[in-house]
C-alpha cells in the first residue's frame, strides 16, 4: 500500500512539473520541462549520493578507523540481508543520521558525532537499522528523485519570477498569461512541497517498522527518536539550514523551523512514530529496555567508534 501511495505521489509531482512547464510555455514549455526532469534525474541517479555526503562534510570510516561503529553496521546489514554499505561520520553536534545511494549495492549510511555521543548501543542500532530499511526499500532513490523534481519546479518558479519582472506574463506563449505565471510562481512550488512532504512521511513510517524488524528492538528505536528529536531542535545544523532540500533524508528533521521554508515538516510527528513503535513492540512481543549510558561506554581496548 505504501509503495502504491508513493508511486501515485511521485506521479502527481511529475504532473505538477509538466503542468508548470505548460503554463509557462504551452506544449513547448511542457516538453522542455520533461527534458529538464529527465536530465536532472539522470544526473541525480549517478551523483546525488556523492553530492550530499560532500555537502555535509561526511568522512568515510572503516574497520580500522571506527571498529565498533563499523562492526555494528556490518552486523545490521547481515541481518537485513543487504550488501555492506559504505559508512560515514559527519562532524556535527546535532544527533542525526541518513542513508543515500541509488541501490543497495551502492548505498552509504552516515551518522553525526552528536548521534554517536548521545545514544547507547541498542538505540544506535535502532537508528542505523532504520537507515538500512530505507536502503532495502530503495527509499534513498525515491527521495533523491522527488527532491530533484521539487527543485526543478522551484527553478521554473524562478524563471516565472524573472518573466514577470520583464513582462513575460503578457507573452503569447504563456498558456494563461499573468494568471499562469502567478500559478507557476506560487501554487506549483507549494503543491510540490506538500507532495514531497507526503512522500517523505510515508517512507519514514515504513523505515521505522523495517528498522524495528532488523534490530529486533523497536523500543530502543523509540527511545532514540525521543532523545534525538528533542536535541535536534536545540542544536542548529548549519549545513542543513543552508541546504534544506536534503532535510527529508535525515531520520529526524534537521531544520530549526525558524525560517518560512521550514513551516511544513517533511517528517511525521515524533510522538506518533514513537506510539507506532510501541504498538509494533507489543505486536512483536518485545519488552526489551535499552541499556543506560552512551552506546560506546563499555570498556574497550579498541579506538572509539569514529576514530
Q: Tell me if residue 74 is catalytic.
A: no
DSSP string across 112-167: EHHHHHHS-HHHHHHHHHHHHHHHHTTHHHHHHHHHHHHHHHHHHHHHHHHHHHTT
Residue 121: left if φ>0, alpha if ψ -120 to 50, beta else—which one? Answer: alpha
Spatial separation of the C-alpha atoms in residues 254 and 231, rounded to whole Å: 10
Q: Three cell numbers at 276?
A: 507506532
Contacts of 216 by beta carbon, 8 Å cutoff, 6+ apart? 79, 284, 286, 288
CA Rg value for the chain: 21
Instruction: Determine contact, residues 211/221, Cβ cutoff 8 Å.
Output: yes
Marked catalytic residue, from 68, 123, 131, 204: 131
Closest C-alpha to 40, from 8, 4, 9, 14 = 14
Number of other residues whose CB lies within 10 A of the CB of residue 57: 13
Q: Give the C-alpha separation, 129 to 149, whole Å.
A: 28
Distance CA 145, CA 246 (A): 12
Length of the chain: 307
Burial of 27 (0-12, 13-18, 19+ CB in 10 A): exposed
Catalytic positions: 131
Amino acid at each position: 500500500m505504501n509503495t502504491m501511495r508513493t508511486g501515485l505521489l511521485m506521479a502527481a509531482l511529475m504532473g505538477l512539473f509538466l503542468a508548470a512547464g505548460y503554463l509557462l510555455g504551452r506544449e513547448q514549455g511542457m516538453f522542455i520541462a520533461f527534458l529538464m526532469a529527465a536530465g536532472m534525474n539522470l544526473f541525480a541517479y549517478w551523483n546525488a549520493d556523492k553530492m550530499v555526503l560532500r555537502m555535509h562534510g561526511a568522512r568515510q570510516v572503516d574497520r580500522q578507523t571506527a571498529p565498533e561503529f563499523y562492526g555494528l553496521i556490518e552486523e545490521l546489514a547481515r541481518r537485513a540481508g543487504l550488501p555492506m554499505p559504505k559508512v560515514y561520520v559527519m562532524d556535527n553536534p546535532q544527533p542525526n543520521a541518513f542513508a543515500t545511494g541509488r541501490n543497495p549495492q551502492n548505498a552509504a549510511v552516515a551518522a553525526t558525532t552528536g548521534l554517536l555521543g548521545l545514544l547507547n548501543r541498542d538505540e544506535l542500532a535502532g537508528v542505523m537499522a532504520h537507515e538500512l530499511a530505507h536502503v532495502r526499500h530503495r527509499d534513498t532513490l525515491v527521495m533523491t528523485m522527488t527532491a530533484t523534481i521539487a527543485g526543478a519546479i522551484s527553478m521554473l518558479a524562478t524563471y516565472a519570477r524573472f518573466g514577470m519582472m520583464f513582462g513575460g506574463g503578457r507573452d503569447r506563449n504563456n498558456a494563461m498569461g499573468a494568471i499562469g505565471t502567478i500559478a507557476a510562481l506560487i501554487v506549483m512550488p507549494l503543491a510540490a512541497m506538500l507532495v514531497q512532504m507526503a512522500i517523505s512521511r510515508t517512507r519514514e513510517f515504513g523505515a521505522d517498522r523495517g528498522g524495528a524488524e532488523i534490530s529486533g528492538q523497536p523500543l530502543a528505536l523509540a527511545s532514540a527518536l525521543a532523545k534525538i528529536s528533542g536535541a535536534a531542535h536545540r542544536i542548529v545544523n548549519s549545513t542543513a539550514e543552508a541546504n534544506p532540500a536534503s532535510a527529508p533524508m535525515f531520520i529526524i528533521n534537521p531544520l530549526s523551523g525558524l525560517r518560512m521554508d521550514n513551516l511544513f515538516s517533511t517528517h511525521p510527528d515524533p510522538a506518533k512514530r514513537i506510539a507506532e513503535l510501541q504498538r509494533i513492540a507489543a505486536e512483536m512481543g518485545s519488552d526489551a529496555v535499552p541499556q543506560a549510558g552512551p552506546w560506546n561506554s563499555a570498556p574497550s581496548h579498541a579506538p572509539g567508534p569514529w576514530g
